[in-house]
Chain A
Amino acid sequence: MTTSQPAAKGKRVAIRQDLFTTPLDDLNAVHLKGTKCNDCGEVFMGHVISCAHCGSESMKGIVFNDQGTLYTYSVIQYVPPGDYKGPKDPFIPFVEGLVELPDGIRIVAPVLDCDPKNARINMPLKLKVYDFFKDEEGNDVVAFCYVPA
């Protein structure tokens, strides 16, 4: 397991392109990025060049609010299928949430540091950006989740 060994040479890389503000040095200062349609006001995760609602190509980059609320959720009881990078041995059940941000979007995300028994619809949450796993090159792959606020 990755106990407190000295950090390898790798650098930090984002799990998904265009989703995080940079730099990634201080993860507490990193936020999620989105794109807002100048015509209809719809908001999207990451970088998009056209509005999936109205078709406009007049879009601007925004930074999402770190605060949100839990719109709905489920509890992942079994190891998710595919190349899941969270703890598998043992697997730790976690809350999967649809998190509503004041920016007008609901995002599917893990809700961690939260005992599934204590999860409640409408509970306040805040963004957490963290080193999730090491890739083959020894880079720390940065992911996001929400935690109770």
Chain B
Amino acid sequence: MKKIAIVGVGIHPFGRFGEKSYQQIGQEAVRMALKDANVAWKDIQVAYLSSQYLPSTAASRVLKPLGETGISLVDVEAACASGGVSVNIAMLAVQAEACDLALAVGVEKMPRGFMDPMMNFEKWQVQMGLSTNPSYWAMSARRHMHDYGTTEMHLAKVAYKNHKNSVDNPNSMYRKAFSIEEILASPIVCYPIHLLEICAPNEGAAAIILCPAEKAHKYTNKPIYIEACVHVVAAYSSDFRVPIESMSARIENPSPVTLASQKAYEKAGVGPMDMDLIELQDTDAFCELQIYENLGLCKKGESGKLIDDGTTDRNGRIPVNVSGGLISKGEPVGASHLGQIAEIVYHLRGQAGARQVANAKIGMAQVLGARGNCAVTILKR
């Protein structure tokens, strides 16, 4: 397959922006990416826009005001992995030689407060009170604690690390460090998960421009190569997550994160220990620990040890969520994976400012959400 390069990135910070429309938020990210690649909107030949909570035809609503060019503008949705799918198909379009310059953009402006549970759950589940998202994450966490001795302190350390990292990220929603004591004293959302250990839905956008690797130097002297971009949906009964009603007690299939990352490692010819940085789905602090294991950063049950020994600290062997992670950035679902990719691109180009991971050459982004939708992207300079 033809090698693909990212030649432009743009990001609209993640947060809450009052009356600012999703169109404006998305257009800012796109304009920034266009400028970064030294191209104009009329040069883009196909565009894929990922979102989960925007109305139908969001792609044309966001992009048509940039000017009439007659290209295909496509909406993409795959829950928290939506961005992985827009990148994946933008890449395929270039690889198929259907075009030379493709845009993938993620945009989101999510409703405040709890989202309508009927979007995910069946009516009977809602009526019976089974519609509290974090409780499913909490159930996974509690079983992990029971099986492997993971503790509340392990979770708090993840949140401590990510909040601390976010202070240096101007694109993050919360940029405030908290002590372990403050984290453990924050209200319990669902034991063992505290308020300061969980991500908030919010608003934001991020965009990338892709072209064939051999043409990248026309646009940039710092092309970043997509070594792999994989989207999977969880194998049967392999992922306990909303809105699931039951799990098999007989079969243990590999998790969607395992599945997607194994495929991505194989395509890229690398392993988890080769990464200079990783941005991953810390929907809550336990989620980050579980993903350490499923990405193969450690053995099953040993993620507590990994956070204890500092491996994933900013100055550790494999820094994880140097951006501050979802816990600090918030999760504008459709934009989340594009935001991770933008972050890694900045590090690989040496443009990440105060949070720069020194001499980063290869990085990985991972997202996971409803129905086990998971995406993993590996980038290399």
Binding site for B on A (CB under 8 A): 15-16, 41-45, 52-53, 71-78, 80-86, 94, 96-98, 100-101, 104-110, 121, 132-133, 141, 143, 145
Q: Which of B115, B130, B146 has its CB near the most chain A CB atoms (within 10 A)?
A: B130
Number of interface residues of B (CB under 8 A): 40
Known: A74-B190, A80-B130, A81-B117. A45 touches B246 (CB 8 A): yes
Pick the residue among B121, B190, B245, B249 that contacts A75 (CB under 8 A): B190
Point out the residues of chain B lying under 8 angstroms from A133, CB to CB. Answer: 127
B128 and A143: CB pair below 8 A? yes
Question: Hey, which bits of chain B sit against chain A, CB under 8 A?
Answer: 114-118, 121-132, 134-136, 138-140, 142-143, 146, 188, 190-191, 236-237, 240, 244-251
CB-CB < 8 A to A43: which residues of B? 248, 250
Given A77-B188, A121-B146: A84 touches B131 (CB 8 Å cut-off)? yes
**Chain B positions within 8 Å of A141 at CB level:** 127
Assembled-state Cα–Cα distance A76/B190 (Å): 7
Please determine whether B190 and A16 come into contact, CB atoms closer than 8 angstroms.
Answer: no
- Which residues on A sit within 8 Å (CB–CB) of B117? 80-82
Instruction: List residues of chain B with CB within 8 A of the CB of A94.
Output: 129
B130 surroundings in chain A (CB, below 8 A): 80, 96, 108-110
Q: A75: shortest Cβ distance to chain B, in Å? A: 6
List, sorted by A's number, 28 A–B pairs whose CB atoms are closer than 8 Å. A15-B127, A42-B250, A45-B245, A52-B237, A53-B236, A53-B237, A53-B248, A73-B139, A74-B136, A74-B139, A77-B188, A80-B117, A80-B126, A81-B115, A82-B117, A84-B126, A84-B128, A85-B128, A94-B129, A98-B139, A105-B247, A105-B248, A108-B125, A108-B130, A108-B244, A109-B130, A121-B142, A132-B128
B143–A107 CB distance below 8 A: no
A74 and B135 form a contact (CB under 8 A): yes
Closest CB of chain B to A20's CB: distance in Å?
11
Query: Which residues of the other chain, B, contact A110 by a CB distance below 8 angstroms?
Result: 128-130
Q: Is the CB of A74 within 8 A of B191?
A: yes
CB B233 to nearest CB in A, in angstroms, measures 12
Q: Of B114, B191, B246, which one neighbours A105 at CB under 8 angstroms? A: B246
By the criterion CB–CB under 8 Å, are B143 and A71 in contact?
yes
Q: Which residues of A contact B245 (CB under 8 A)?
A: 45, 107-108
Which residue of the partner chain A has the closest CB to B243?
Answer: A108
The answer to whether B251 and A81 have CB atoms under 8 Å apart is no
Which of A16, A42, A143 has a CB less than 8 Å from the CB of B248?
A42
Compute how far the CA of A100 lies from the CA of B153 in the bound complex, rounded to whole angstroms.
Answer: 28
Complex CA gap A81/B128 in Å reads: 11
Residue from the list A42, A45, A77, A81 in contact with B131, Cβ < 8 A: A81
A96-B129, A98-B139 known, 15 other contacts, Cβ within 8 Å: A16-B122, A41-B250, A42-B250, A53-B248, A73-B142, A75-B191, A77-B188, A81-B117, A83-B127, A84-B127, A86-B129, A98-B247, A105-B247, A105-B249, A109-B130
Bound complex: CA A108 to CA B121 (Å): 12
Interface centre among A81, A82, A85 (most CB of B within 10 A): A82
CB–CB B131/A82 < 8 A? yes
Shortest CB-to-CB span from B258 to chain A, Å, is 18
Q: Are B127 and A85 in contact (CB under 8 A)?
A: yes
